[in-house]
Amino acid sequence: MTHEEAWIDVDWGLDFESFEWMVHLAACFNRHLPPNGPWNTWPDWPTDMIGRVSEIHRPGWLSACHLVHRHPSIAVKGNTITVTDAHGTARVLEDVDVTCRWWHVDVTSDWNVPPRIIAALDARHGPSASHKFVPGQMEQICMGVEDDALSYGLGLASVLQTMLDPVALYSRATDYHGARCTSCHGTTYREGLRGQGLEHGKEVTYECWSCSTESWCN
Ligand SMILES: [Zn+2]
């Protein structure tokens, strides 16, 4: 395919500075490839679209664009990606661009975890009291690229894959424990240590932020 042919299907009505445009242009430049094979052609676009992507990170962004383009439960409009999970719940990533490394995903705004998810989490991790509810601190989870050398595009693709799977999302949101501050004795929920310390009086001890800040000041 020549680059001239890639332009035939281009929709010139899109916003050239949007992630939607990047996905669309990548689709046009890779339309000669089999639908399920990986994309390998970086669009020949004179400006850097929504940001500069170094050559080594382009395959990662092409794989994210391909996933957005081909997956029936993923949609892109402007700089917003919407993912609808297997249970029909839609979640969005906003302000998507190629400099994003971390993504905040709203898992739920509902305290109670649906019974079918509790059953799946119990099967995956063993029964835990934390599987029954999601406290406010865990309603939104942060996912992204921990390794500097990885393409942020690959990070986005893996976040989107997790968003497609409600059990994977709830698995993150229910990985928390009950904690009690050794100084002020205030209790809270903290990330990690799935299900530990949730019984009253059995909390995991730690020093809360305000108590530890006070001790620095003294
Ligand atoms: Zn404290």
Q: 141 pLDDT exceeds 60? A: yes
CA of 186 to the centre of ligand 1 (A): 6
CA of 211 to the centre of ligand 1 (A): 4
Q: Residue 148's pLDDT band (boundaries 50, 70, 90)?
A: confident
For the stretch 180-203, pLDDT in tens is 999 999 999 999 999 999 999 999
Sign of CA dihedral 62, 68, 69, 72: positive
Domain ranges of the chain: 3-174, 177-217
Q: % helix / strand / coil in the chain, to the nearest 5?
A: 35, 20, 45
CA of 187 to the centre of ligand 1 (A): 9
**From 29-33, 145-149, 155-159, the region with the lowest mean pLDDT:** 145-149
For the stretch 104-140, pLDDT in tens is 999 998 999 999 999 999 999 999 999 999 999 999 9
CA of 176 to the centre of ligand 1 (A): 18
Q: Residue 36's pLDDT band (boundaries 50, 70, 90)?
A: confident
CA of 141 to the centre of ligand 1 (A): 24
**Residue entry with tokens 């509790």:** 118
**pTM listed for this prediction:** 0.88
* Residue 68 near residue 161 (C-beta atoms within 8 A): no
Pairing of β 187-191 and β 176-181: antiparallel
Helices (H), the chain: 3-6, 19-29, 58-70, 115-125, 152-164, 166-173, 209-217
Pairing of β 102-106 and β 204-206: unpaired
Q: What is the DSSP string of 69-81?
A: HH-TTEEEETTEE
